[in-house]
């Protein structure tokens, strides 16, 4: 976004670009916390007889978030051209917070799984919508940087979960972590009512004067509509044209692999580290090191992506995650595990975050939201497969090294998919 501090003179809203960026960062941090907290509490759930959850059930429940996100992202892709991103961000935030509340009070596995499903539904709506929204309110040359800056909030929230888990879980119930994830929403929700609408959505829906007011206040190029009917076939018609079909399918493969890594590793990393012989406290702090690496990696990666293009940075991210997993499978020792996880976190999670920036900067402006939503919707199959795959490997009797190998392969496939994306001109 531009650095101007001039307020947007849209009805009922007077937020500067910095304020909107900060709100987007906070919402992303809540998303990151809600995703990461499940992996943090899995060891406690497995050790709590009243919940009646074993490793297989834990993997299934972990996949519920992916199922919910699949539905939520598909819903966002189908309706964003009608509702605009502003309403979807608000509705999705309230939805995933409600799911966290259900999880906090769940008496058993069934209700807990329902809570995670609702969390996934809300996250599925918000994640692609928020990425597209930040891109819409950013100057073209700063889109990758701003998306990654916003998603550093995602990493910060995800980092907070294992840190709080280390402090609280030895002394209190896992439920408090879910409650702590709900409280900030009461502070954020009133401010979300004041964010402006996307200028591209306003232009597309005939509100040209409002669109011009926003682009002027933010120092953005005038919003133009290049796709007449982005909602055709629930938003898929504009993405599967002859010139975009190959790119779209490869983005789906990239997103599948990226989200498999995000959800599989988020759900099982502490448990995998415990299986490798580390204590719960050490495993959680290693998870925190990973998320710290994500935060630093995506901020730096976003700036590099604006300079050299996001494609190269996404390929490097996938390959760094794969290399890190290969080295960790060799049991290198605690002294090396922390820096490995710090660097590899950029590959595990940063590949998906930067992949979103690649999608946002490749599609035409008026189908950006549809493209992101459908890429993340199809990618949710990876989010479903990841936790289940981790559970199957951990319960198969195979050495723990196979847990690292199983997540390394999708990293290679994701890098190959990104490398194969055709180089296209923006005005498609």
* DSSP conformational letter for 367: G
Spatial neighbors of 168 by CB under 8 A, at least 6 apart, are 176, 177
pLDDT tier, 11 (very low <50, low <70, confident <90, very high otherwise): very low
Question: Is the predicted pLDDT of residue 386 greater than 80, yes or no?
Answer: yes
Domain ranges of the chain: 17-420
pLDDT of residue 361: 84
Question: Is the predicted pLDDT of residue 326 greater than 50, yes or no?
Answer: yes
Residues 108-144: pLDDT tens digits? 889 999 999 999 999 888 888 888 889 888 888 888 8
Residues 271-286: pLDDT tens digits? 788 777 777 777 778 8
Question: Is the predicted pLDDT of residue 1 greater than 60, yes or no?
Answer: no
Summarize the confidence of residues 348-358 as an average pLDDT.
Answer: 84
Spatial neighbors of 25 by CB under 8 A, at least 6 apart, are 149, 150, 152, 153
Residues 188-219: pLDDT tens digits? 888 888 888 888 888 878 888 888 888 888 88
SS3 419: helix
Per-residue exposure over 74-91, b if at least 16 CB sit within 10 Å of its own CB, e if not? bbbbbbbbeebbbbbbbb
Radius of gyration of the chain (CA): 20
pLDDT of residue 70: 80
pLDDT of residue 117: 93
pLDDT of residue 297: 84
Ramachandran region of residue 108, left (φ > 0), alpha (ψ -120 to 50) or beta? Answer: beta
SS3 157: helix
Ramachandran region of residue 223, left (φ > 0), alpha (ψ -120 to 50) or beta? Answer: beta
Could you tell me which residue, 309 or 415, shows the higher pLDDT?
415
pLDDT of residue 6: 42
Question: Is the predicted pLDDT of residue 375 greater than 50, yes or no?
Answer: yes
CB 361 within 8 A of CB 375: no
pLDDT of residue 4: 40
pTM of the entire structure?
Answer: 0.74
pLDDT tier, 7 (very low <50, low <70, confident <90, very high otherwise): very low
- Sign of the torsion angle spanned by Cα atoms 140, 361, 291, 303: negative
pLDDT of residue 226: 55
Which of 47-51, 160-164, 332-336, 419-423 comes out lowest in average pLDDT?
332-336
Residues 58-115: pLDDT tens digits? 878 888 887 888 888 778 877 777 888 888 999 999 999 999 999 999 998 899 999 9
Summarize the confidence of residues 29-34 as an average pLDDT.
Answer: 89
pLDDT of residue 235: 59
Question: Is the predicted pLDDT of residue 314 greater than 90, yes or no?
Answer: yes
pLDDT of residue 234: 56
pLDDT tier, 162 (very low <50, low <70, confident <90, very high otherwise): confident
Alpha carbons 371 and 360: distance in angstroms, whole number: 8
Summarize the confidence of residues 6-23 as an average pLDDT.
Answer: 66
- Domain 17-420 belongs in CATH node 1.20.1250.20: yes
């Amino acid at each position: 976004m531009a650095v101007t501090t001039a307020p947007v003179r849209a009805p009922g809203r007077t937020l500067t670009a910095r304020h909107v960026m900060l709100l987007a960062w906070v919402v992303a941090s809540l998303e990151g916390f809600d995703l990461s907290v499940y992996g943090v509490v899995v060891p406690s759930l497995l050790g709590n007889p009243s919940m009646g959850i074993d490793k297989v059930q834990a993997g299934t429940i972990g996949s519920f978030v992916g199922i919910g996100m699949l539905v939520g992202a598909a819903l966002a892709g189908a309706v964003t051209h009608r509702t605009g991103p502003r309403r979807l961000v608000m509705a999705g935030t309230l939805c995933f917070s409600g799911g966290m509340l259900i999880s906090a009070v769940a008496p058993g596995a069934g209700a807990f799984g329902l809570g995670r499903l609702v969390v996934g539904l809300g996250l599925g709506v918000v994640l692609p919508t928020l990425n597209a929204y930040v891109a819409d309110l950013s100057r073209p040359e700063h889109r990758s940087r701003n998306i990654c800056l916003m998603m550093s909030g995602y990493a910060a929230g995800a980092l907070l979960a294992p840190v709080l888990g280390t402090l609280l879980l030895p002394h209190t119930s896992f439920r408090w972590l879910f409650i702590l994830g709900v409280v900030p929403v009461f502070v954020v929700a009133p401010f979300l009512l004041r964010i402006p609408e996307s200028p591209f959505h306003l232009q597309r829906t005939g509100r040209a004067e409002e669109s011009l007011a926003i682009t002027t206040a933010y120092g953005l190029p005038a919003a133009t509509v290049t796709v007449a009917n982005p909602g055709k076939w629930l938003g898929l018609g504009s993405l599967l044209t002859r010139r975009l079909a190959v790119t779209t399918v490869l983005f789906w493969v990239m997103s599948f692999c990226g989200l498999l890594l995000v959800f599989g590793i988020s759900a099982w990393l502490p448990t995998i580290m415990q299986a490798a012989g580390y204590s719960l406290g050490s495993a959680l702090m290693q998870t925190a090191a990973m998320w710290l690496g994500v935060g630093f990696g995506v901020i730096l990666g976003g700036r590099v992506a604006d300079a050299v293009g996001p494609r190269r940075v996404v390929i490097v991210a996938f390959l760094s995650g794969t290399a890190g997993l290969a080295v960790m499978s060799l049991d290198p020792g605690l002294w090396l595990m922390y820096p490995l996880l710090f660097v590899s976190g950029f590959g595990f999670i940063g590949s998906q975050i930067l992949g979103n920036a690649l999608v946002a900067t490749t599609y035409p402006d008026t189908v950006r939201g549809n493209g992101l939503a459908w890429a993340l919707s199809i990618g949710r199959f990876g989010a479903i497969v990841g936790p289940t795959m981790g559970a199957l490997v951990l319960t198969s009797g195979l050495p723990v090294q196979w847990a690292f190998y199983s997540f390394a392969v999708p990293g290679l496939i994701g890098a190959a998919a990104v490398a194969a994306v055709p180089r296209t001109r923006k005005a498609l």
